Homo-oligomer: A and B are copies of this chain.
Amino acid sequence: MDKTELLRDDIKYIWRPFTQMKSLENENNKPIIIKKGKGIYLEDIDGNKYIDAVSSWWVNTLGHSNKRINKAIYKQSKNIEHVIFAGFTHTPAIEFSKKLVNLMNNKLNHVFFSDNGSTAVEVALKMAYQYFVLKGQPQKRKFIALKNSYHGDTLGAVSVGGIDMYHKLYKPLLFEIEQALSPYCYRCPMNCDKQSCNCECLESVENILNNTANEIAGIIIEPLVQAAGGMIMYPPKYITKLRKICDKYNILLIDDEVAMGFYRTGKLFAYEHAGIVPDIICAAKGITAGYMPLSVTVTTDEIYNAFYDDDTDGYKTFYHGHSYTAYPLALAVALENLKILEEMNIEEYLKPKIAKFSKELEKFRNHKNVGDIRQTGMVCAIELVKDKKTKEPFNYEDGIGRKIYLEGLKLGAILRPMWNCIYFITPYIITEKQIEKLTDIAYKSLLKVLPDKE
On A, residues with C-beta under 8 Å from B are 1, 6, 9-10, 12-23, 29, 31-37, 42, 52, 54, 56-60, 64-65, 69-70, 73-74, 77-91, 93-95, 97-98, 100-101, 109-113, 115-119, 122, 125-126, 129-130, 133, 138, 141, 152-157, 159, 165-166, 169-170, 172-175, 284-285, 290-293, 299, 304, 307-327, 329-330, 396-397, 405, 414, 416
Contacts and interface: CB of A to CB of B under 8 A. Distances in A.
A74 to B, nearest CB: 4
B80 A69 contact: no
A84 B109 contact: no
14 contacts: A9-B94, A12-B98, A17-B86, A18-B86, A23-B311, A34-B88, A37-B79, A77-B291, A87-B405, A116-B119, A117-B323, A284-B323, A291-B327, A292-B329
Contacts of A31: 87-89
SS of A interface (majority): mixed
- 5 tightest CB-CB pairs across the interface, nearest first? A17-B321, A155-B156, A13-B97, A154-B154, A37-B80
Given A33-B90, A156-B173, A322 B118 contact: yes
A98 B175 contact: no
A159 B155 contact: yes
A263 to B, nearest CB: 16
A416 to B, nearest CB: 7
A231 B98 CA distance: 37
A70 B328 CA distance: 13
Given A32-B89, A115-B116, 10 more contacts: A14-B326, A29-B87, A35-B90, A59-B324, A73-B329, A74-B74, A81-B290, A116-B119, A119-B154, A126-B170
